[in-house]
Structure 1
Amino acid sequence: MADDPLDGRVALVTGASSGIGEATAMALARDGADVALAARREKRLREVAARIREEHGAQTLPVRTNVRDEDSVVEMVETTVAEFGRLDCLVNNAGLARGESVEEMSADQFRTMMETNVDGVFFATREAIPHLRERDGHLIFVGSFAGQYPRPFNPVYAASKWWVRGFAHSVEGNVGEEGVAVTVVNPSEVRTEFGAAYGESFEERFEEGEVTEPEEVAEAIAFAARQEGSTVSELDLYRRDKFSGF
């Protein structure tokens, strides 16, 4: 493999201010890509972008974005293309989880989750496709174990990830013949701040080595992004004891 297999390419990563998104932006920059980083926390984005430039010498672009807002997502893609002149890879990573049961979840909580996990993915994908088509580019979706198996304790989150997975593979059938690769990466628990806004985060709940690390998911995403002329359709990353007791 070349030292910089993504040299000259431009990647856009949503949810890039921490966790999987931050690790993915780092991994893609390490492989030679210039990276646009999108999230709501602008200060944190700028810190991550500065570290990427320092460690990997890549060009970076922090773009404050709320994926729930259509206009914000349109601006995110337009700003990225205006800055770099192209877009080769979109990583749909931004998402949130809630732990309420169906009967406990309010309508506002439901809408917030679906607008983030579903609407945001749709908006970003829609805006990116014309640019990716020009570059034989790559759409990468961060799915979940919850999008493949029943999830009794947070069914709404699971439903949103089932949607992401079904949407991604259907888009794959739609744009594959136009040269656009589509990949879904499905982790189980990942040791990040995910879920912190609504209780104990996975980073707090698990010790290092107990579950998947964000860097491992980022490596799977980078592996998929490096493919030329073929598609890694789906990758599953589960902790090794995930199926014990099934």
Structure 2
Amino acid sequence: MTTRSRVALVTGASRGIGAETARQLAADGFDIVLAARSEMPLQHVAADITTTHDGAAHAVPTDVTDPDAVAALVETTLERFGRLDTVVVNAGTGERRNVPLTELSLAEYRTVRATNVDGAFYTTRAVVDHLRETDGALVFVGSYKGKYPSTSTPVYAASKWWLRGFAQSVAGRVGPDGVAVSLVNPTGVTTDFGRDTRDQTNEELLDAEDALSASDVAETIVTAVDQDAPGAITELDLFRRDIYERF
């Protein structure tokens, strides 16, 4: 295992889009710092990366809803690698589908907000100055539901609408300083998203032949990361080909 010249931090990296993004960034020549709450799955991804690639993969169990934990994550990254070139803000959670607003618990609402909104803010706040130093890349994983209404999951959709506005506003702040800010909006992806809130995960619910895979989204994220200056992929919609049929 050798140390490479570029370092990427990925949140929500223990499974799904985050884990696959970490793998593809490692294949692209990055050392990787993986963050998520679940330590054992995170360690498994790190071990897989170090076995498959020459670079380093360091797992840091982190709850992105805790600003002190996020600050410690970034500090650990810098202590270990000395720099930060790319950050993928991927950690997120959903809500139960089709629950009347009057029956949606405040705890569930706050969980979605804390992870998807507060977690994205805490992560961004902790990394932007370090990305300025390297002319780095900051990628937010949004959603199709961040551009169109979702009657089945209005709180989740609202959190992704917020993320979209935040990402583009941050781009206005740090783009002039050399940081490339990108927002990737996928439609439904065949992962275990929904495992804590639904009877069926996306992997069980979606037809793999028609839906996106985690690998599809990760490939798009890496494309955004690899965009050469002065260009930046500011927003990229990665939709299944038949998505507009529903309209």
Same fold (TM over 0.5): yes
Query: Unpaired segments of 5 or more residues in structure 1?
Result: 1-6
- Cα deviation for residue 245 of structure 1 reads 3.7
Match of 1:10 in 2: 7
Q: How does 1:103-114 map to 2 (within 5 A)?
A: 103-114=102-113
Question: In the alignment, which residue of structure 2 is the partner of 1:220?
Answer: 220
Poorly superposed stretches of 4+, deviation over 6 Å:
none
| Letter in structure 2 aligned against 1:32 | G
- Partner letter of residue 212 of structure 1? L
- Give yes or no for contact 1:101–1:154 (8 Å, CA) kept in 2: no
Q: CA RMSD in A?
A: 0.9
Q: How many residues align?
A: 240
Q: Distance in 2 between matches of 1:111 and 1:135?
A: 35
**Contact 1:168/1:182, CA 8 A, preserved across alignment:** yes
Q: Deviations over 1:130-151 (max 9, x none)?
A: 1000000111000000000011
Segments of structure 2 that go 5 or more residues without pairing to the other structure are none
- Preserved CA contact (<8 Å) 1:16 1:22: yes
Verify: 1:239 aligned to 2:240, yes or no: yes
Q: CA deviation at 1:211?
A: 0.4
Provide the TM-score with structure 2 as the length reference: 0.95
Alignment match, 1:56:
53
Amino acid at match of 1:40: R
Partner AA of 1:208 in structure 2: A
Which residue of 1 is the match for residue 93 of structure 2? Answer: 96
Which residue of 2 is the match for residue 3 of structure 1? none
Q: Which residue of 1 aligns with 2:120?
A: 121
Residues 97, 157 of structure 1: 8 Å contact kept: yes
Identity of aligned residues (%): 50
Once the two structures are superposed, residues 43-90 of structure 1 have per-residue CA deviations (whole angstroms, 9 ceiling, x without a partner) of 111110011111112211100000111111111111111111000011
Local SS of the residue matching 1:103: helix
Distance 1:106 1:61, change over 3 A: same
Give, in whole Å, the separation in 1 of the partners of 2:14 and 2:102. Answer: 32
- 1:102, 1:156 within 8 Å by CA — same for their partners in 2? no
- The alpha-carbon deviation at position 242 of structure 1 amounts to 0.8
In 1, distance between residues paired with 2:234 and 2:103? 36
